Amino acid sequence: MKAEKTFAIDVLDNEEAWNLFRKMAGNSVERAELRSIAIEVAKKCARLPLAIATVANALSNKPSYVWKDALLQLQKPSSRNLSRKFADAYLAIELSYKHLESEEHKQTFLLCSLLRRDGSIDDLLKYAIGLGLINGVDTVEEVRSRLLTMVRDLKASCLLLDGNTNKLPFDMHDLVYDVAMSIASKDNHVFALNKKDVLKDWPDEETMKKCNMINLGFPGIKELPDELNCPQLIFFYMISKDGSLKMPPNFFRQTTNLKVLDLTEMHFSSLPPSICLLTSLRTLCLDHCELGDITIIGELKNLEILSLFRSNFRILPKEIGRLVKLKLLDLSYCTELKIIPPGVLPSLSILEELYMLGTFIQWEVREHANQRSNASLVELKNLSCLTALEVHILDAGAMPGGLFFEELQKLERYKIVIGNHDEDEFYQDVHEYSRILILNTISIDHLDHRLDMFWKKIEALRVYKDFDIENDSVTKYIINDNDAVDKIEFPQLRSLVFQDLPHLISFCSKDKSASTSMPRHELSLFSEKNVFPASVARVLPQLRDLCIHDCGVEEIVSIGEGLETTVTFEFNQVSFLSLWKLPELKCFYPGVHTIKWPMLKEFYTFGCGKTTILGTKHFSIVDTPNVNWQQLQSQLISLDEKQAWSLDDIPTTVVLTMHQGSTVKSIDFHPSHHTLLLVGSANGEITLWELGMRERLVTKPFKIWEMSTCSLTFQALMVNDTSISVSRVTWSPDGSLAGVAFSKHLTHLYAYPGSNDLIQSLEIDAHVGGVNDLAFTHINKRLCIVTCGDDKLLKVWDSMTGRKLFNFEGHDAPVYSICPVDRYERLIYSITVDGTITSWMYDGRRCQADLVAPGQGCSTMLVSANRMRLFTCGTSKDGQSFLAEWCQYQQVVERIYEGFTMKSAAVVSFDIGQNQFLAAGEDSQIKFWHVDNSNLLTFIDAEGGLPSLPRVRFNKPGNLLAVTTADNGFKILANDVGLRSLRANEVSSSAA
């Protein structure tokens, strides 16, 4: 569950509880014959909102005899040893489960409880088909629709919650989850372990023989039994982080009724021979696995679902062609897969869905199989049942003729990427659209007139520069057909992206405007000195982000002929507006106009030196309820003015000196509670300080939370050397989580509920050696953790489950620091100890050629709070320090700041405050620069006592600065505003 803030909610009082119950159950509870029963039922919900909601929804509009029966069930004593309040809640939730409208709903609910926060609709679909959960449906798409409907019904019953992403669309309250697992264990003989459990012994033989489902999510299993004696088993799921765990050859010999088998993140040189005995198996998932010989899968003749998502193997065996009942094949992001033998795909004659996005097959052109060593796209024409296709075609020349395009139009869903790309945007939010076509400039020349077959059904079109060609690509038109302009229609288009196409001047070579709806992102149509003609700018109903950067435009919208005297532009969905480095920009629109931005939340400007006003003297802004209007207006009208500042804005006054007790290694202010400071020490301890109260709120000494789940390498290391230090502490963007990286292997994640406590959330054995840096970022709306370490790797983890999502390989040296950039590029930068800077896409692919930080040594990187400017600070091997600003798009150093005076044995710490001041600790001093001037602005020694290289950290407003001291502590420096905020907290604390 995700929330901007977390509040402690106690039970309701009696009146509140009844009012909520009555509202959820409906007006029928006021009937004379029902009201007294309803009141007693409400009382049995123990005044807990969750219990009230589930029971009231379950009984809404039911006849009185159902209410009487429900009351009897709620009055029964609970079989669990719980307090009265939670026993009543258990009974209430169990009652809601019993009142679900069908057995399918009940089984779907229990299956959702097994997946919980680790699963998606796609996973639910694969399992449901394998288990035969849905009756009366014939196709995969029909099963998907039924599942989505039932998930919606379960949310309406309050048994499921909304998830935090489109790919993870459901979640489950902890209490509901406990009830679901209790029901599953009792009624369905489910044996389940989660990531915090350790399997010491398998259940006794009789229990295992009755077991129907086994779910082992991150269990600490060191060894598997030779045979799994579960003759009634129909579902087996296991995920293992231990690459040394072996699956015995006869493991499945006594599980011949198995219908669903999911083995995730496991290593197989070959699959266990006993897998061929699973004649009832309908779903096989080997996701995120290292795979060798998988030929034996061809023996599973009843298989309907085969998923090898993100697994590493080079050749898809020809034996896969024997799976004539296969309906869904998922080969997405199998980056090492190079060969699919000719004839395999057309042999899957009833295949309905084929997923290969992110898998780079060299499709062959020749049509006859005996002339080829690899698959051809022409084979897809033989899949007459195909309704969904996701595929990456590197060479547009490998695409067959018009018949292939005609076949594509029969698909309900497709995502087709044609050509080489060096952008990660085509992987972002692709799940939002059903029919997507992604092209590069080279593929346009190959496809030309064949593209017009897509226009009427396509929902998203994206065109990028080919990263294998020079920047002087001269693509001017998407369609080079003068006669096509009057025929172009985009009735379903929701997303149109042109990026890095500096010469593009029109969609079609004839100067007419197509009827388009262009809803998104950067549109680089800049050679004509404007972005949109007025006729197009007035019909952008779904545009969400307007980002114009690094171009020579003079106006955003060109003046149109034949328009009324006053023009109104309505950007009803735009929430993000950024005008960045537009030196020639004069105005938004040169005529009289009004602009409406009802959803605008963020507005950024930089480098718009000629802009005196974003419009004319007749310009007005209306309907901006989501931003501070005065702040927005001042930004819009004064883009050319530099922000006024003085030396007094810099926090230089020492107001607090605190003793930590051990050398401070890392510090970070809370993003919204600006006087809350998290401190990590050399002894592995973390401390949370409230500076306004001068109080140490909580201290967490280092300890290993669950040694048995850690790698054997780490366990052996800690036997001989138990010393461990904090490498980095940092807050998540919303401040609900605190991350800690340690000098050996581990990363800890704490939940911060807003009270005086940090609650253990996740322990991850992240890297072999030290974990040198840690950061939070959002990937497809999911909050993730990024770590780097001595093992030369970057890794991305799910912040809710601890599951590894991506592995970034290819560094030649240990990785010292990382910096996610969540702006246009959506990249992760990494810097190794030799100063090599690499940018990565979020799927783990290297994005651009390596750069080298000044000094070619260990460096850290920061992005300004407004996300406009990028800085590095590092120290070379000979001790010279360099602080530099980078031009993000040209990937070159734009400015090097002067003022470092000493040779350093370690890396200089730096930070940026108020988007305009840089601070760095060097020579037992704190040195300051203005971001626009390379000369040193000022320096202070903070009344002495600083180490040679003090660590520095601004709070978010930039009015406080924390700096470490030589005596195992830290000082707080403030400007006048920061001093007032500390005193306000102190007064508030005294009053309390």
Q: For position 789, which CATH number holds?
A: 2.130.10.10
| DSSP of 886-902 | EETTTTEEEEEE----S
895 domain residue, yes or no: yes
Distances 524 to 305, 315, 502, 507, 576 between C-alpha atoms, Å: 42, 40, 6, 12, 17
Joined together, the tokens standing for residue 188 give 């369905």
What is the predicted pLDDT for the residue at 164? 55
Element (H, E) at 851: strand 851-852
**C-alpha span between 439 and 463 (Å, rounded):** 5
In this structure, are 654 and 573 located in the same domain?
no
Q: What distance separates the 2 farthest-apart alpha carbons in the chain?
A: 88
377 domain residue, yes or no: no
In this structure, are 834 and 913 located in the same domain?
yes
- In 441-494 the beta strands, taken as DSSP E runs, fall at 460-464, 477-479
Residue with tokens 């005297």: 565
Best CA proximity match to 242, nearest among 811, 804, 718: 804
Q: Which amino acid is at 541?
A: P
Within 8 A by CB and 6+ apart from 644, the residues are none
238 domain residue, yes or no: no
Q: Which amino acid is at 295?
A: T
Low-confidence ranges of the chain (pLDDT < 50): 1-9, 81-83, 403, 422-426, 428, 467-479, 482, 484-488, 503-528, 613-624, 627-642, 824, 990-992
What is the predicted pLDDT for the residue at 259? 97
Question: Are the C-beta atoms of residues 714 and 744 closer than 8 Å to each other?
Answer: yes
248 domain residue, yes or no: no
Each residue of 120-135: pLDDT tens digit? 888 999 999 999 999 9
CA angle 944-947-949, nearest 5°? 120
Count CB atoms within 10 A of the CB of residue 692. 20
Q: Which of 601, 634, 667 represents a domain boundary (last residue)? A: 634
Best CA proximity match to 750, nearest among 766, 733, 737: 737
DSSP reduced 3-state for 70: helix
Question: Are the C-beta atoms of residues 94 and 184 closer than 8 Å to each other?
Answer: no
What is the predicted pLDDT for the residue at 473? 45
673 domain residue, yes or no: yes
In this structure, are 737 and 667 located in the same domain?
yes
In this structure, are 597 and 695 located in the same domain?
no
- Phi/psi for 170 (5° steps) reads -140, 155
- Phi/psi for 426 (5° steps) reads -75, -5
Q: How far apart are the first and last CA of the chain?
A: 32
**C-alpha span between 103 and 891 (Å, rounded):** 58
Residue with tokens 């322990």: 763
Residue with tokens 């830290």: 970
Q: Which of 44, 67, 99 represents a domain boundary (last residue)? A: 99
Best CA proximity match to 942, nearest among 912, 972, 919, 922: 972
Distances 502 to 221, 473, 529, 828 between C-alpha atoms, Å: 56, 8, 11, 25
Each residue of 517-551: pLDDT tens digit? 333 333 333 334 556 666 656 666 666 666 666 55
H-type helices in 307-440, by residue range?
344-347, 402-408
Joined together, the tokens standing for residue 851 give 């750069």
Per-residue burial over 656-675, b = 16 or more CB atoms within 10 Å of its CB, e = otherwise? bebebebbbbbbbbbbebbb
In this structure, are 668 and 624 located in the same domain?
no
**C-alpha span between 959 and 707 (Å, rounded):** 42
**C-alpha span between 294 and 174 (Å, rounded):** 38
Strand order in the sheet with 952-954: 653-659, 969-974, 960-964, 952-954
What is the predicted pLDDT for the residue at 847? 56
Joined together, the tokens standing for residue 430 give 């692709």
**C-alpha span between 743 and 766 (Å, rounded):** 11
Element (H, E) at 858: strand 858-863
**C-alpha span between 953 and 689 (Å, rounded):** 14
Joined together, the tokens standing for residue 563 give 């328009």
Within 8 A by CB and 6+ apart from 406, the residues are 453
What is the predicted pLDDT for the residue at 239? 86
DSSP reduced 3-state for 121: helix
534 domain residue, yes or no: yes
Within 8 A by CB and 6+ apart from 367, the residues are 376, 378, 400
In this structure, are 625 and 654 located in the same domain?
no
In this structure, are 675 and 771 located in the same domain?
yes
Distances 299 to 54, 223, 280, 319, 345 between C-alpha atoms, Å: 46, 27, 11, 8, 17
Question: Are the C-beta atoms of residues 813 and 833 closer than 8 Å to each other?
Answer: yes
Best CA proximity match to 497, nearest among 528, 461, 535: 461
843 domain residue, yes or no: yes
Query: Residue 25: which domain range?
Result: 9-99
Q: How far is CA 964 from the centre of its chain?
A: 34
pTM above the 0.75 mark? no
What is the predicted pLDDT for the residue at 910? 96
Joined together, the tokens standing for residue 937 give 């602005």
Best CA proximity match to 928, nearest among 947, 946, 943, 913: 913
What is the predicted pLDDT for the residue at 284? 98
Number of domains in the chain: 3
Joined together, the tokens standing for residue 347 give 């042999």
Question: Are the C-beta atoms of residues 310 and 287 closer than 8 Å to each other?
Answer: yes
240 domain residue, yes or no: no
In this structure, are 603 and 658 located in the same domain?
no
Joined together, the tokens standing for residue 516 give 């388009």
Q: Which of 99, 132, 149 represents a domain boundary (last residue)? A: 99
**C-alpha span between 336 and 809 (Å, rounded):** 13
Q: How far is CA 109 from the centre of its chain?
A: 25
DSSP reduced 3-state for 160: coil
Joined together, the tokens standing for residue 391 give 């595929």
Joined together, the tokens standing for residue 335 give 């980056």
**C-alpha span between 574 and 751 (Å, rounded):** 33
**C-alpha span between 478 and 448 (Å, rounded):** 8
In this structure, are 842 and 801 located in the same domain?
yes
* DSSP strand pairing (676-681 vs 664-669): antiparallel
Joined together, the tokens standing for residue 611 give 């802009």
Ramachandran region, residue 652 (left: φ > 0; alpha: ψ -120 to 50; beta: rest)? alpha
**C-alpha span between 106 and 159 (Å, rounded):** 11
In this structure, are 604 and 663 located in the same domain?
no
Element (H, E) at 665: strand 664-669
Question: Are the C-beta atoms of residues 318 and 296 closer than 8 Å to each other?
Answer: no
- Phi/psi for 128 (5° steps) reads -65, -40
What is the predicted pLDDT for the residue at 295? 96
In this structure, are 883 and 923 located in the same domain?
yes
DSSP 448: G
Count CB atoms within 10 A of the CB of residue 971. 20
Question: Are the C-beta atoms of residues 804 and 848 closer than 8 Å to each other?
Answer: no
In this structure, are 482 and 625 located in the same domain?
yes
DSSP reduced 3-state for 88: helix
